[in-house]
Structures are given as structure tokens and as C-alpha cells.
Structure 1
């Protein structure tokens, strides 16, 4: 019998071939079809029926084709396999359409609330279920003569001197050129250099206020960023502000441009950015910019928080916060609809050009000598920015996928991030936006996403409702079993496991919704006469006006609800005494594990969470946050108070003052010698010097004694070769020349001269003890009596 459907499938395949093609070719096609029969003739698997889903929520999460039958007597027939199946199969199996749970996809666009002029629609509502997809068209149309705000952010280091002078003539000429593009044009001005700490600037007393002293120039003090002039249409005021601008200086080559850019983007009220205007930020420089982590060279380790920190138009966090990262800067520029124009002079132009893919909505142009092309540069860059239309998704929602395709005016199609180029004024770019939801959380719910064309001040907000909950029920058995609550007419409805005697009538369901987008009675009860009656649940109690609360949905820890150390109320753990945490998993006694030897919790630099320190000071680390190389030395800062507490000769008045002004150190003072006052330095140095001198002197004496002892031993060893003084040695009449003896030659005896023989000092016998004394009397001749 298994061949019957196989032959039917094969016959259908042959019949489907046109008559003109039947023949040997058709037979060959049938053979090929037969080889593919196992895949072609096999029915697709019904994942709805084979999943064994026991709840409506799990059933709907399987896919958009699945449905749930909430009819009470649907499972009365023992042949029924389950309540989850395709909608077609549920209706075929006898489930009434009113009891079939299968939310559909809806896209709603409120046309009557449209306020956007460039990006439409402004709001879209989408209802989705797992696996489903919704699509709509988004239109973007750049308008002609749109208001423009242009803010000059200028590097005022010494090398930019000529370019700053050129700015004096820019305002009027540029405003004339911009009249062809915008009827409402405003200018602003700000300056930047670098962080005002070493090694970025010279901190020599002679240069701290004038970094250009080596060049015989009068410079203003260095600064991170100064907002000079808010956006204005008064060209004379702009030129006056530029004329007063002085140059400054620093040491290293990179500048603090990204610090200044972020402040110019987020400090909207200071700069004066208009909501309805196209916002341009022109950055003029001739050097690269510092990136995040560069400031660690100066000991600055706190990451930038991305907020505005202007006080009296001066950036006050330049010496305490790091430079922003490229990702952080890009985010703030897009959030505030800022388009950036990098106007770069010199060889660093390519450095900024390489950054463009990381900073959407930016262009880079090269400045000619003395900024001769600055006016044309601004107009050209603006036209390029306004002719590019790109879109991105902000506030990305988990489990939601966006597929965006741009349809350009010339008919070409591009991905959403690539967008369209060379778009003229009043030309529409269409974006086909498809939204898909992959899954649901336990309660479904509503969230929103924002579609933002880059550089435009208008957006589209998408409200997404994920349909995961069921209206009629969620259990395999009928949910018409209520808790013991009083019925509106004072009677109790008599309910069993399968039916209730009280008639179910239709009443306005809106009174039983906590919010308009929430299910009736939160999906956990029935609405009767405008009141929610909550279902019983074997896990615990369901209660609340809209059945929105229960005592069993709190978080578990190690298999226990609220860790066994608390009670569940309205979905949150209420901990017993001596316990804390969202799961009541932390004992208050564990705080002792966070104490250091001085009794401080996490060394005063963190919080104790479940017996573990979480350091709040980003400069500290260690189990107790005890290590902080960049922190100030507490020993040096508090030395006066330490001396005050340990002074033995202080007066009573001074001790009383000490207890008042240094009371905070009273419990943390240890006996230690690791810190020295200024008065102790000389005494310590003197002691070390004297000890070193005495040790050196002793070593010299010992060496001298060893040398003397060695010489004495040599003298004693030569005594055996001396001739006794009392011994008489016969003297010959010959002599030996001393030079020959001194040269180590063999002694050669010579006869005495006649005058030497007459010398009475020579005799046949003489005392040998005088031999060496006589040597000096005979010059270079030495007489050897034994020769």
C-alpha cells in the first residue's frame, strides 16, 4: 500500500509536463522525479502538533501557523491528541473559531497625528507573534532651503595661527553663499587645545600661562574646550568673536578635538542648536586627536560619561575624565543629529578620512594654504551631506530583527545602512522596513524602536507589541475554576474542575485590563460584570484587581523560591531579617568578609555585595579594593593628624583641638614607621652617613693589617740566606761589574786596579756585614769576596 501515494505523486509529476514535451524526455524527467520522490512526496512536519506544547504561550511561540484551542470540551474525545495544532486542523477537529487562539499580525499607521515633514510616517504600531513578520514603507524627503546651524570648532594651537586670521573674513562671504541653500543660516564659534595637565602641556612656571614663550608670542592659557559664541544670525557678532580669539599651545602633537566635539554635541542649550535646523559641526585642525585611553599617561582613568560639563562656557572635566571613544562620540553625534565636517590642513587629512566609516554622517575636506577654500569647502560638504540618505535603528529590541532596503530615486536598491547617494531636493527615498520577532519573554509586552535617518532631526517610532499571551486560557484543562472571591451579586459561583454554574455573559472587557495593551485579567482570570476573577493555580495564589500578582513567580536560587530566606509578594522577594538581595541569597553577616584591618568596608572604595567587594572607585582593585596606585597617599595627607594624636609634649589645648579637627582618624591610626615628617629626614640621613663611614674605615684598617702581616712573613723567610757577621771571608783581588749582575748575566770577575789595592779599606779579610754598606762607596762596582 505504501506504493499508492508514491505512484500518485509520480503520475502527478508526469501529467504536469506539457504535451509537447512528453516522450523520451518526459520519461527521463520521470526517472529524475522518482529519484527525488522521497523529498518531494513527503509531507512537511507539523511542528505545532508534534511539539507536545502543554500551554497556550508555548504553543504560540512555535510559529505563526500554530493555534491553541481553549474550548472546554475540546479534549472530551479521547482521540484528540492536543490543543496545539495549525488553525486549519483545529477547526477541522471541531474547535469553535471563537475559542481558537491565533493572534494575527497588524500594522497601524495613525495618519491623523502626522507632524513630520521630511520623514514619514512618524509613528507605526506593530503587533507581532513569534516567527511572524510585518512590513511597511518609510519615506524620507530632503527639503530645499532648510534652516542650517553651523558651529565652528577651531584648534587654536600655535600652528593654526594663519587659519584663525582667515576666519575673520569667512562669516559674511559664507552667509552670501549659503543664501542659495538656506534662507535661515546661523553661525557659532568655539575653541579647543588639549587637556591642561602634563605631559600634554608644559607645567614649567614660566610657561604655564604662555605656552608660546619659546616663539616670542603672547598666547592665551591652554584649555580643553571653551564655548565662545552661541549660534546667531548676526555676522558682525561672529566676526567680532573671531577677532578677539588668541592662539594657545601645548607640547604633544595630537590635540583634544574629540573632547570638544562631544561637548559641542551634547550641550545643546549652550550652543543653541535648533530642533528644526540641519546641524553642522565644522572642526578645523592640522593635527590628529587623542583617543580613549590616551589620558592614562596623565593618570586620568575615569571613563567619559558622555554628558555636558560646561560651567561658564568652559569644559571643567578636562583634567578628570578620559577622552571619549570613537563609538561613544559617534553615538552622541547621531543622537543629537549632528553632521561633522573635518576641515584639515596638512598631511593629517588622511587620518581623519580613515575615520569616516566609524563616524556616520561625517565628511573630510582638505584646507588649502591659509584656508583660501574654506567657504567653498563648507558649501560643498553640506551639499554632499544633504544628498546622502541613510537610516539606522536606535533602541534595538532583543528578539526583534529589522531588515531595511532602500529604494533610491533612480530605481536602484541598497541596504538600509548603505542608503542612497546624490539625492536631490524634494526627491523621495523609500525604505522597505520588515520587522520579525524571534521569541517572547514570559509575559510578552510592548516595547519600541526608533528608525533614524542620519543627520535628519525627524525620526519614526515603532511601537511593537509581542502577542504571546492568550485571552481565553493557558492550561490543558478548562480555566473556569476561580479562587474563593466574592461574586458581584454577593453569591459564590459554584465551579468544579470542568464547569461553573454561573452563566458567562458578555461585558465590556476594557474594565478588566490593567493597560490597554495587556490581556484581559492579565491572562490569569475571567472578566465577569467588569471584575476579574482569578484562576486557581497549583503553584500558588493569583490575586490583584487585574490578577496581575502572584506568590510563586519570584526568582529562585539553588532550587528554592527566594532562596528559602524570604516570601514572594507581587513577584518580588521580601527577605527575612539578616538577609538581602533580589533572591534573598545574601546574608548580612557576610559583610564582615569585606572589612579590612582598619575596620573599613572595602577599604572605603566600594560596596559589599554578598561578602564580595564591588569597587566603586575605578582606580582601585583587589579583593578588598585595597590597591589604588593612582589614589592620593593617605599617609602623607593625614600626617599632621597622625602627629597630633601621638604627640607626647603637646599642650592640653592642642590635644583638644586635635580631637576636634582630626577625630575622623581616631579609630584608624596604627603604630607604624612607614611615614616620616620633614624634620626627621636630616636625622635619618646623618645616621646613615655616619654608619656608612665607620664601616668603610673599618674595612680599610682590616685590609692594611693584612698587607703588613704578609710583608712581615716575607722578611722572616729571607733570614736563612744571610751570612753571619762574625764570619770572615777571604777576599780575592777581583771585582764584578754591578750592571752585569743587575741584568741577570753570569758574574764575571775582574782584577782589582793598582789604586784599589793601595786603598786601606780593602784588606784580605773584612766583616761581611759591611758589604752592602760599601757598595755605595764604589759606584757601580760591587766586590764579591767569594768570587
Structure 2
């Protein structure tokens, strides 16, 4: 628009139309600003805890006479507003979020500060800086974990010459180096090894070699300064064998990482674990092929430097292995021969603080490989957040020496020894519904043997809640919030205050609401849990603490009331798993349940009298030894069989008496009668035998009087022919005439008696 046209425009009625959009935008912004409400004062919070949970800008006035004439609840507001309304500064509950270093390490520390105390409240943000840098000439522990299967024999032979050469090359990083050596093959069970009798002791019998027995892991040489000993130990190492392609590398690697005392890892040194292999490794769940289903517990299980649970636990998962490597400040290097190198390289993102390098067929590049891998690991500075807390969010940003910013997990690359890396750590908190108390978070720089501990204090309660520090009102007089239930899910809000708590205790020695709820206005509000309902005046009862049977509460045949099963009709027992119809199997012929000496459980009698036994408790045992045997739990199987046999002979049936009794005279009489009966039986047998023998002798004498006389000549002939004499007895014996002349000389005559 020209200057000449300006007066004309000013006089024109169309000019105001052009400025209307600008005016409208101005009024809109003013309206939005006016519409923004103060969430502290507009919330209607009636307790100090609820007020603080609204946001970091909210405060609560505990002054008793604050705005006594006001009809509105105005104790919750921003701190400046409360002060302007007349609330004294010392009566304003307004915790501020802040971080404070608690301790710092000396000048030789690589991570500072070592410990930080953080006070935080809902919606607040806390920041602090963590400094990490490498120190020169830091102590170093190098542990070789070697696959000694037959295909690795050339690499093993090369390894024994590496120790001295490597120590010379690593002098740029450290002049304090220890070396160690361990071996592994695989789990010594089928199908990983051959269990043929000829191969149990020697898996290499087919190729006419003597192999070591296959093993999960052996700590052959703990960390030592003696490179000569290292060389000799490696030189004496024999190969072993197995039959499947993957090896137990990760199983052995975890043991080498967690067995600090056995390996000799030093707290003041960096830890470098070098895994040498030419095959892939078994992973978690592979062990099920051998029937091994117990998950790996991540613990150390070495005995005399041998992994003793190799055949009992599964291979570790990658997550568990990575966690243990980080937790024990171990940098891992995979030195791999052949095409399997790419398999390990792909796993590096899942195993923080590890590197992969390829070995040549004769492992001639071993010392260069270790040097390069260690140099690369030193040039990377990353941080892992350990022990996270639910509801607390931790964000870490790395500020690299070149000025770039990356996430803490990504970290900085190509960091030199004298350069420092700063990490900006930010903590935020959502709500106060997740509990109180001091918690801690661990920041672990990968490959370093130092950590930073963050102690977290959740400022979710007010000082006026504490009986010892009560300093005013934490709740308004017209609070209607007493009728609301402050529990969500499994935890009650810690922002709620426990006032009038004495009426919420079953007894002075009991905790408020039995520790399962909060006390508001003298009434218990019980927790809510996914397991079931907690109820009662003092939250002392629930409907989920009853016995389970086959995974069902009260077997699904009853209701749980105050920890006891109330069975439905037709079911009984403490867990309602027995049908009432089975009770008939416990009745004796007189209609007594278990003969009046026991209780019926699922159709079987459980005798309550210690001396009663039998299917219906119908038998009674009357001997101390038998009673002692029945009550003893330290009797061997052979002794138990002897006692049982003896006790079975000492039982008697007492169907006429309702109670078992014990009288030692009965046993005495029983033994006397048994002994007398036995002696009388023997006497009767002896007398009978004597009578029978006398009878036979009398018959023999009477028969001899009827024999026919024989001439002397005949008697001599008979004596020469017969070896024994046979007597035939008859009522009237006939004459016996034997013609000796008719018998031939060679003929023999035998008499059968």
C-alpha cells in the first residue's frame, strides 16, 4: 500500500476487516491463558498425601488456623499461593526433588560419583552427571576358555606360546597381567556324547587316540602371574571328543564368569574372558534332548575346579549369560575359527560388552586378536541400568568427547585413554501408588569394575502423618474422602494417612489393619489382590489362604472362609477332596467308623490311637518294641521288615472292647503257655517214639523163634554167599530151602531192604 493510499484506507470501512484475524488470535490466547486452571487448588484434595501426588508444584498447609473462615478447601495449592494466603513457611508441606552425591572415590576411580541420593515425588524430574574415564596401566585378568574337541588341537598347541608374547604386546595397557586357562566340551550325557561301553572312557577310540573324558567345564589353571606355568599347563592339555556339532560353550562361559573365587578374578582389575572355539554353542532348551529340564540358576557349581551340575541343569539363556557377564564386570571376546564366526558376531547385540574376532586355522593371529579386541572394548564406553524400580523411569544420555550425544546403551566410540565421558542421568516418577521405602538403582559401565549406586527416596508422605513428627493437620475437617477406598490392585496408596489408627487394630500388639490395608477415619480399607478378597473389620480374613488340591482352591468343591474350606454337600476333608459317599468303606460290622479308634479320610481309616492298626483300626498292638517301631522314622528297611514280622505275630483281635488296652501280665502268661505247650509236645513225641521202638523189638524176638534150624555146613555156605540176612515173618512160616548148587559162581545176589 502506498503512503498516499494510507489515509484513504484509514477512512475506508474495509480496513478494520484486515486486523480482525490478529485481534481474534490475541483474544484466543488470552482466553486459553485464563482457562488454564491450577490443578492443585481445583483438585479438591482433602489429604496431604493426595495433594502431593497431584504434581511437583503442589503443597499442603498444615497450619491449624489456616483460613478458618473459608468455606472452601484451600489447603492444597502451589507453595507461593499458600504463602500469599497466610500459611506460614514452616507449615507448608512441599518436598523438593533433588539429587545429592553421598560419596566419591579417590583419584584412581574410573566412575564418579560412587553413590547418589535422590529425593523424588510424583511428576518431578531429577538430573545429575556421572563421569567415566579409563585409567592407564590398570590391572588386567585374562582367562582363556578353550574348546578342546578334536578339531581344536592345532589352536591348543599354538596357545601355549601366546602367554609371553601377549604380555609384551599388552604392556601398553597394563604391566600387571594374570593369565588363566579352562577347558570345555559338552554335557557328558547322551545324545551329546557316545555312551557305548567302549567309548565311555575314550571317545576317540575309533581313531586310535586316547582322549580326555568329555566334560562340561574344568577350571584347569586359575589366574596366575606365572606365564611359564601357563605354558606348561596348556602344553599338557589333551583333546576330548563328543558326537554332536554344537558345544557347551555358553554353559562353561557362565561358570567362568560367576565363580570369582575359583577363577581368581580380582576386584581391582579389568576382566577379559576369551572363548576359543570352532563350533556354535548350545542354547537354552537344547538340554531337553537329554531329558534335562531344570533351568540354569546362574550360580557357581564348581567342586575341585570341576563343573558338577553340567548334567543336571540346562544351558543358560542369552539373557542370563549377558546379565552375569555385566554383573561380574567381564568383557568377553569370541575367538572363532571357520564360518561359525558369523554366528557369534550376530549374537553380540544380545551380549553387552562382548566382541568377536576370527582365528586363522593355526591360531597364529591369537596375540594380535586379543590386543585388537581389548583395544576396541576399551574405546567403547556404555552404561547398563540394573535393578530397575517399577514406577521410576531412568534415562541416560552419553555426552561424548567429540560433543555428540547418544543413548547410554549406545554409548561413545573411539574414546581415548585420557578422555572423559559424561552421562546425564534423568529420573522421573509416575505415582506414589507403588510403595515407600528406600530403593536403589545400579548404573554399570560395561567392562569396568566399578558401579554407581542411586539411592531413591520417594517423597510420597507428609511429616504430619508421622506420630513422632506430627505438626498440624494432614486432612480437612470436612473430608469426605474417608468413604473412598484408597487401594488399587495389590497395594494401598501410601499417600493416604493412618489417623485414628488405634481403632484399626485388633489388639495393641497387632499392626494397623493387620498389615493388609490402610486406616482412614478409624476404619480399615483392605487391599485388593488378584488372588481374592481380603475382608473383615481389621482386614484379618481372606478367601484365598485355604489349602489347594490339584491346583484348585478347596479342590473346587467348597468355599474358602477365614483360611478354612467350607465344603459343599457331598464333600468333606480339610480341602474338600473326599466324596462323602466313600465314608461307608470305613464302617465295621457294628456300624462304627474306623472301629471308634480313627477317622475316615477318603474312604480309608487313619488310626488316631497309636496302638491301633488295620484297615478299620480293628487290631491292637500290645508290645513296646512294636509301638516304638511304628512311631520311629529312623528304622532301616531290613530292620523294619524284621520288626513287622515280629509284630504281626504279637497282635490279637479285640472286637469286644471299644478301647485298646495294655497289660504286661497277658504277654507273660502267653509266653509261659507257649513254652509249656512246646515242652509237653516234645515229651509226647519222645514217649511215642520209645513205645514204637519197644514194640518193633518185641516183634523181632517173636519172629526169630519160628526160623528153621540149619546145618553147620549150610550156614558156612550161606555166610559166603549172603552179605546180609533177610527175615521173612509170617503167621506160620514155611521152611526155607535154598539149593546152593544151582547158583553159578559169577552170579551175584542182591537183597533190597
TM-score (norm 1): 0.62
> 2:379 aligned with 1:387, yes or no?
yes
> 2:310 aligned with 1:318, yes or no?
yes
The equivalent position to 1:437 in structure 2, one of 429, 434, 446, is: 429
- Bigger Cα displacement from structure 2, 316-325 vs 465-474: 465-474
3-state secondary structure, aligned to 2:71: coil
> 2:188 aligned with 1:206, yes or no?
no
> 2:641 aligned with 1:659, yes or no?
yes
Report the CA distance between 1:586 and its aligned residue. Answer: 3.1
Does the 8 A contact of 1:471 with 1:523 survive in 2?
no
In the aligned structure 1, how far is the partner of 2:577 from the partner of 2:189?
A: 36
The equivalent position to 1:309 in structure 2, one of 289, 298, 301, is: 301
Q: Do the aligned partners of residues 256 and 330 (structure 1) sit closer, same or farther apart at CA in structure 2, a change above 3 Å counting?
A: same
CA deviation vs aligned residue, 1:88-118 (integer Å, no higher than 9, x gap): 2222222222211111123211356658610
Q: Counterpart in 2 of 1:67?
A: 59
In the aligned structure 2, how far is the partner of 1:587 from the partner of 1:280?
A: 57
Q: Do the aligned partners of residues 465 and 479 (structure 1) sit closer, same or farther apart at CA in structure 2, a change above 3 Å counting?
A: closer
- Bigger Cα displacement from structure 2, 89-98 vs 430-439: 89-98
Does the 8 A contact of 1:155 with 1:285 survive in 2?
yes
The equivalent position to 2:352 in structure 1, one of 326, 346, 360, is: 360
The equivalent position to 2:291 in structure 1, one of 292, 295, 299, is: 299
Q: Counterpart in 1 of 2:504?
A: 540
Does the 8 A contact of 1:567 with 1:575 survive in 2?
no
Q: Do the aligned partners of residues 187 and 553 (structure 1) sit closer, same or farther apart at CA in structure 2, a change above 3 Å counting?
A: closer
In the aligned structure 2, how far is the partner of 1:89 from the partner of 1:277?
A: 56
Structure with higher RCO (Cα < 8 A, 6+ apart): 2
Does the 8 A contact of 1:70 with 1:473 survive in 2?
no
Q: Do the aligned partners of residues 320 and 72 (structure 1) sit closer, same or farther apart at CA in structure 2, a change above 3 Å counting?
A: same
Does the 8 A contact of 1:263 with 1:307 survive in 2?
yes
3-state secondary structure, aligned to 1:205: coil
Q: Do the aligned partners of residues 35 and 365 (structure 1) sit closer, same or farther apart at CA in structure 2, a change above 3 Å counting?
A: farther
3-state secondary structure, aligned to 1:125: strand
The equivalent position to 2:186 in structure 1, one of 174, 194, 218, is: 194
Does the 8 A contact of 2:185 with 2:217 survive in 1?
yes
Q: Counterpart in 2 of 1:550?
A: 512
Does the 8 A contact of 2:152 with 2:277 survive in 1?
yes
Q: Counterpart in 2 of 1:426?
A: 418
Q: Counterpart in 2 of 1:782?
A: none
Q: Counterpart in 1 of 2:138?
A: 146
Q: Do the aligned partners of residues 479 and 140 (structure 1) sit closer, same or farther apart at CA in structure 2, a change above 3 Å counting?
A: closer
The equivalent position to 1:369 in structure 2, one of 358, 361, 366, is: 361
User: When the two structures are aligned, how many residues end up with a matched partner?
Assistant: 530
In structure 2, the gaps of 5 or more residues are 1-14, 479-494, 518-525, 549-559, 568-572, 580-635, 649-753
Does the 8 A contact of 1:290 with 1:323 survive in 2?
yes
- Bigger Cα displacement from structure 2, 326-335 vs 86-95: 86-95
Q: Do the aligned partners of residues 113 and 562 (structure 1) sit closer, same or farther apart at CA in structure 2, a change above 3 Å counting?
A: farther
Q: Counterpart in 1 of 2:246?
A: 254
Q: Do the aligned partners of residues 324 and 112 (structure 1) sit closer, same or farther apart at CA in structure 2, a change above 3 Å counting?
A: closer
In the aligned structure 2, how far is the partner of 1:159 from the partner of 1:358?
A: 27
Does the 8 A contact of 2:535 with 2:542 survive in 1?
no
3-state secondary structure, aligned to 1:372: coil
Q: Counterpart in 1 of 2:273?
A: 281
> 2:193 aligned with 1:231, yes or no?
no
Does the 8 A contact of 1:470 with 1:523 survive in 2?
no
Does the 8 A contact of 1:227 with 1:271 survive in 2?
yes
Q: Do the aligned partners of residues 127 and 41 (structure 1) sit closer, same or farther apart at CA in structure 2, a change above 3 Å counting?
A: closer
> 2:158 aligned with 1:166, yes or no?
yes
TM-score (norm 2): 0.64
3-state secondary structure, aligned to 1:110: strand
In structure 1, the gaps of 5 or more residues are 1-22, 483-496, 499-521, 526-534, 598-653, 667-787
Does the 8 A contact of 2:396 with 2:426 survive in 1?
yes
Does the 8 A contact of 2:401 with 2:419 survive in 1?
yes
Q: Counterpart in 2 of 1:587?
A: 564
> 2:86 aligned with 1:122, yes or no?
no
Report the CA distance between 1:32 and its aligned residue. Answer: 6.7
Q: Counterpart in 2 of 1:79?
A: 71
Report the CA distance between 1:129 and its aligned residue. Answer: 1.1
> 2:87 aligned with 1:98, yes or no?
no
In the aligned structure 1, how far is the partner of 2:155 from the partner of 2:244?
A: 20
Q: Do the aligned partners of residues 584 and 142 (structure 1) sit closer, same or farther apart at CA in structure 2, a change above 3 Å counting?
A: farther
Q: Counterpart in 2 of 1:218?
A: 210
Report the CA distance between 1:579 and its aligned residue. Answer: 6.7
